[in-house]
Structure 1
Amino acid sequence: MAVAEAVRAPLVQAADKVGYALRRQANPGSSGLGADCYVHAALGRELLASLGFNARLVVGEAAWGIGEGCGDVISHTPREKAHSPEGMSPEQMAVAYHAWLVVNENIVDFTTYQLKRKARALDAADGGHITVTWRPDVLVLPAAGVMGLRQVAQSHNAGVAFYQEHPELLELMALMYEVDPDNLTPTRLLLAG
């Protein structure tokens, strides 16, 4: 187990650095914050490549247990009632999916810092109350640690996650979300700084 962690450590450090640059880029100017997972993943892939990591962009379903109570879950899946960020077009809302990266059998998700914001938006929409005790700035999760959707939805543990790839959606998401090349330059500068 110690060997696996030692191998993962450089990826965790690089992902933290890239995640910081992406948050600095997205927070001040993103009108689509909460609906920008594809952009985060695409930019993150480029930035990780500049640090020597080969990442594969993946699209599919995801869910996160963010608190210890029943229902303290955020999901992006058509199989469950999911969070739909403000400002999404009907076409985007019809595709309740998520984008992330896979690097050496690890899931790298640069948007988990938005989970608290998503919980507040969901609470405002349905009048409920989701307790958020887990919301990592960046999630680097060994693929072996991924749970099933039902397990996450029924868990009373914060910090559990479900990710399931749907390769057929990658092309669709690429058509719906275009990465502005002009965003890469300032994000690279933030990474270097």
Structure 2
Amino acid sequence: MFIILLFSTMPFIGVMVTNYLFPVYLADVLETSGSMYGIQSMIYAIGAVTAGMIVPFIAAKWGVGKTIIYCMVIYTAAISVILFANIPLYLALMFFIAIGNSGTRVARNTFMMDQIPNEIIGRVDGLFRSIGLLLRIVLLAIFTGMVSVGLIIYCFAILSTLLVVSSLLVILFWKKGIKSAGIQTDQYVTVA
């Protein structure tokens, strides 16, 4: 469960890191104006709201585990393809990045609330937030140095690799660890 909860935070960490990378990518690689960043943010917001509305229904139908995995795969695929995107495709990918990140967070938080006892959930969540913050600091330090020498493409390649590995680990440990531990993963998710 620790591995699943740890690596399923990677889409959120990816979003935090790409908040630094996307403006540079838009200006230096795609050579667009600043207004494109505003359009990107608007499309991301539409995707996040869409995920907030549909993910509880998907989780109720397929189960929380499959929802986490599918949303992580959507996010990973969108980030991996972004290197080869022109401006219209880049904007379309923002929608899927938002669905992948937001969907993973909703399903992951639902899983945590269902499976972790109330008396320790604060400490568990604090642990994962601390690890996430450390990962963000390390990645931003590395990427800041790389961007300053014009290696933004490699930043996305590293991020994509980390996300692929994270997705594979979540899939592997979900099927292996959670099922053998006897944790019920296909519980109904309440739609608020």
Instruction: Work out whether the TM-score is over 0.5.
Output: no
Specify which structure has the higher proportion of strand.
Answer: 1
What TM-score does the superposition give when structure 1 sets the normalisation length?
0.32
What TM-score does the superposition give when structure 2 sets the normalisation length?
0.32
* Structure with bigger gyration radius: 2
**Relative contact order higher in (CA < 8 Å, ≥ 6 apart):** 2
